[in-house]
């Protein structure tokens, strides 16, 4: 569900990106200018970060984390469903702005005040505020759910230091979600009060302070980029280790690097604000903290290389995406250090150099990682293998298209092309770079179409997949593909890092179990989460259109449902022993 909805929003955000690039293909074009262009780039950024990247990550966390820790389900299935519906309807609220005559939000994905205050923007920003608020609550609940799942529901013997890297990054990511999202929740509340109830938080005439928005936004926003990239690190670690037929080099160093990156992610938000005028002391401290992040990240890069060194590296689509990830993410990281030099940042500020930097980290890092993870876990999730031939086309067109698009943007930025403007003048030396960049964007579009074709073809094929198609090392490969609804018929017993590999090396042929086969308790399905999310969506529209009656009804409806949930207990149901598939031999 997360994957489907996230994939849909990804296509939407991608389309917006393509339109942006078409407008910037030649100088002086006037296809999407002024407000339309602002709406496109605002929606591209917002959609990609909140409604494409996050849910696709959550889809993988949902599908794989319980399998990797030997759990039957996440800790709170009810909250899981609630989170999904809140995220999805939040996306619907945001995108409804295109169609309701109001026009989409246009204040940039960062929605800086005062640009986003009523004085300088129209109704679109209301959709931004309430759409993100609803979706943010959903994401936040999801974070708590994964944390509890990983803390409390690990199989016997699976100590923290034996957790697979993907689960470790899921853990740190969820912790970041937990502590980062309340900051943007508050920020959106402040903006909402300013826009709807005449609040004066960002009204400088009355002594309000617009820099509060930037602080709160980046206290959320900087950890957010680590929320996006850490799971990709985890995927790459698992994939490289599997396809090198070696345990991950420096597993414990990787764990500490992950935790350290998570921690430092909270210490550096003000590096987005060097030019705000915080003074040299604050700028120096934040510059220093920012550059420190390169240390644990460097540890990770070397550990991946050392894992492959001397391993029996198998090249297929999944490992190609992971191997391609290393150089592209490295470039993104290096330009990050350049931007972290506070005095130099005054030069790079708001140019295409910044655009190139963060697309190299988020696309060259996270998207590559996610593709790798999808090719790797597709058989476990859907019981079929994605086509390898199309997969390689998918990879190479994307890899080339991506570098064509974003590599020239470094130079465009250094030559002074500012971000967020809808055109440029001829004979300023910017034509070539922009033209190549747009061609690259078409390359990536082609690649995504190949991927969609691959899904369709795979879906139609009749093949069946064994439990362990990749000669895997971790627990998810001990159960049938696709995973049954109860995941594990018997809770596995873990006896070391890479639990399945330990058993393979000892020639046991299968994992050992911590419990006898018994009937399995399952939670009942419930319609309440969906209704709750609907209630909040109604309330959001009520606020957007200033109809307090609708807003109040929606909120009360949701609170009544919460009360029903809180007093009613879910007895669940049981799957009897004779209906359970026996364990798989591998």
Where along the sequence are the contacts to other proteins (CB under 8 A)? 75-76, 140, 144-145, 147-148, 151-153, 178-183, 185-187, 189-190, 193-194, 197-201, 203, 206-209, 212, 215-216, 219, 559, 563, 566-567, 569
Give the residues across from 418 on adjacent strands.
351
Minimum distance of other proteins from residue 182's CB (angstroms): 4
Q: What is the DSSP letter of 365?
A: I
CB-wise, 22 or 493, nearer to other proteins?
493
**Omega prior to 122 cis, within 30 of 0:** no
Give the C-alpha separation, 444 to 434, whole Å. Answer: 15
Minimum distance of other proteins from residue 73's CB (angstroms): 11
Q: At what angle do helices 124-152 and 54-68 cross, to 10 degrees?
A: 10
Minimum distance of other proteins from residue 235's CB (angstroms): 24
CB-wise, 136 or 340, nearer to other proteins?
136
Triad 26, 28, 32: Cα angle to 5° = 85
Minimum distance of other proteins from residue 220's CB (angstroms): 9
Minimum distance of other proteins from residue 473's CB (angstroms): 27
3-state secondary structure of 188: helix
Give the residues across from 513 on adjacent strands.
492
DSSP-derived secondary structure for 487-555: S-SS-B---SSSHHHHHHHTT-SS--BSS----EEEPPP-SHHHHHHHHHHHHHHHHHTT-HHHHHHHH
CB-wise, 201 or 358, nearer to other proteins?
201
Alpha carbon separation from 418 to 5, 407, 410, 421 (Å, rounded): 33, 16, 12, 7
φ/ψ (deg, to 5) at 489: -60, -45
Q: What is the DSSP letter of 29?
A: -
Minimum distance of other proteins from residue 515's CB (angstroms): 13
Give the C-alpha separation, 583 to 489, whole Å. Answer: 7
H helix or E strand, kind and range, residue 395: helix 388-414
CB-wise, 310 or 572, nearer to other proteins?
572
3-state secondary structure of 198: coil
Give the C-alpha separation, 89 to 92, whole Å. Answer: 5
Q: How far apart are the first and last CA of the chain?
A: 30
CB-wise, 208 or 408, nearer to other proteins?
208
Alpha helices, H only, 77-210: 77-96, 124-152, 165-196
Q: At what angle do helices 280-292 and 317-340 cross, to 10 degrees?
A: 160
Place of tokens 């949902």: 62
Minimum distance of other proteins from residue 450's CB (angstroms): 41
Minimum distance of other proteins from residue 489's CB (angstroms): 18
CB-wise, 200 or 505, nearer to other proteins?
200
CB-wise, 178 or 584, nearer to other proteins?
178
Q: Count of residues for the chain?
A: 586
CB-wise, 186 or 253, nearer to other proteins?
186
CB-wise, 179 or 407, nearer to other proteins?
179
Q: In this structure, is the dihedral angle defined by the CA atoms of residues 378, 383, 389 and 393, taken in order, positive or negative?
A: negative
Are the C-beta atoms of residues 261 and 296 closer than 8 Å to each other? yes
Q: What is the DSSP letter of 573?
A: E
CB-wise, 176 or 467, nearer to other proteins?
176
CB-wise, 137 or 230, nearer to other proteins?
137
Are the C-beta atoms of residues 528 and 78 closer than 8 Å to each other? yes
CB-wise, 219 or 342, nearer to other proteins?
219
Minimum distance of other proteins from residue 189's CB (angstroms): 7
Give the C-alpha separation, 57 to 442, whole Å. Answer: 25
CB-wise, 178 or 253, nearer to other proteins?
178
Give the tokens for residue 435: 């033209």
Minimum distance of other proteins from residue 191's CB (angstroms): 11
Per-residue HEC secondary structure of 45-66 comes to HHHHHHHHHHHHHHHHHHHHHH
CB-wise, 428 or 562, nearer to other proteins?
562
3-state secondary structure of 340: helix
Give the C-alpha separation, 107 to 122, whole Å. Answer: 10
Give the tokens for residue 494: 């873990």
CB-wise, 199 or 484, nearer to other proteins?
199
Give the tokens for residue 21: 């690039």
Minimum distance of other proteins from residue 19's CB (angstroms): 35
DSSP-derived secondary structure for 202-264: T-GGGT--THHHHHHHHHHHHHHHHHHHHHHHHHHHHHHHHHHTSPPTTHHHHHHHHHHHHHH
């Amino acid at each position: 569900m997360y994957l489907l909805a996230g994939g849909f929003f990804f296509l939407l955000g991608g389309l917006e990106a393509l339109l942006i690039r078409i407008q910037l293909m030649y100088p002086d074009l006037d296809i999407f200018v002024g407000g339309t262009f602002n709406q496109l780039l605002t929606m591209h950024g917002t959609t990609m970060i909140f409604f494409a990247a996050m849910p696709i990550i959550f889809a993988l966390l949902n599908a794989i984390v319980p399998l990797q820790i030997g759990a039957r389900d996440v800790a709170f299935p009810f909250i899981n469903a609630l989170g999904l519906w809140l995220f999805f309807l939040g996306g619907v609220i945001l995108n409804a702005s295109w169609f309701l005559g109001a026009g989409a939000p246009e204040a940039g994905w960062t929605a800086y005040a005062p640009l986003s205050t009523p004085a300088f923007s129209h109704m679109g920003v209301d959709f931004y505020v309430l759409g993100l608020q609803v979706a943010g609550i959903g994401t936040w609940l999801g974070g708590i759910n994964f944390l509890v799942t990983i803390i409390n529901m690990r199989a016997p013997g699976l100590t923290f230091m034996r957790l697979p890297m993907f689960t470790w990054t899921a853990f740190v990511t969820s912790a970041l979600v937990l502590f980062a999202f309340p900051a943007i929740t508050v920020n959106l509340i402040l903006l909402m009060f300013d826009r709807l109830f005449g609040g004066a938080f960002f009204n400088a005439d009355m002594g309000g302070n617009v820099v509060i928005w930037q602080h709160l936004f980046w206290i959320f926003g900087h950890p957010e980029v680590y929320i996006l990239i850490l799971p990709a690190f985890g995927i790459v670690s698992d994939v490289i280790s599997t396809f090198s037929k070696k345990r991950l080099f420096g597993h414990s160093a990787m764990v500490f690097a992950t935790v350290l990156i998570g921690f430092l992610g909270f210490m550096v938000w003000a590096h987005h604000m060097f030019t705000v005028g915080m003074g040299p002391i604050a700028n120096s401290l934040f510059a220093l903290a920012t550059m420190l992040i390169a240390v644990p990240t460097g540890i990770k890069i070397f550990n991946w290389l050392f894992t492959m060194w001397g391993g029996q590296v198998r090249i297929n689509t999944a490992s190609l995406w992971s191997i391609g990830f290393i150089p592209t993410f490295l470039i993104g990281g290096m330009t990050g250090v350049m931007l972290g030099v506070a005095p130099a940042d005054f030069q790079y500020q708001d140019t295409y150099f910044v655009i190139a930097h963060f697309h190299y980290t988020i696309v060259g890092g996270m998207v590559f990682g996610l593709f790798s993870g999808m090719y790797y876990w597709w058989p476990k999730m859907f019981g079929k293998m994605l086509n390898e031939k199309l997969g390689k086309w998918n990879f190479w067109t994307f890899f080339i298209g991506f570098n064509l698009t974003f590599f020239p943007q470094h130079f465009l930025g250094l030559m002074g092309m500012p971000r967020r403007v809808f055109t440029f003048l001829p004979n300023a030396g910017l034509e070539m770079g922009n033209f190549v960049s747009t061609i690259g964007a078409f390359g990536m579009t082609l690649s995504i179409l190949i991927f969609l074709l691959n899904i369709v073809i795979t879906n139609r094929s009749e093949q069946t997949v064994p439990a362990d198609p990749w000669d895997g090392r971790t627990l998810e490969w001990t159960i049938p593909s696709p995973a049954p609804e109860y995941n594990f018929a018997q809770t596995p017993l873990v006896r070391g890092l890479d639990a399945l590999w330990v058993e393979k090396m000892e020639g046991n042929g299968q994992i050992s179990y911590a419990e006898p086969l018994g009937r399995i308790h399952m939670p009942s399905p419930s319609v309440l989460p969906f209704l709750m999310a609907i209630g909040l969506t109604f309330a959001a529209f009520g606020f957007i259109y200033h109809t307090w009656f609708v807003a109040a009804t929606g909120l009360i409806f949701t609170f009544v449902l919460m009360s029903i949930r809180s007093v009613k207990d879910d007895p669940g149901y049981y799957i009897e022993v004779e209906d359970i598939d026996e364990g798989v031999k591998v």
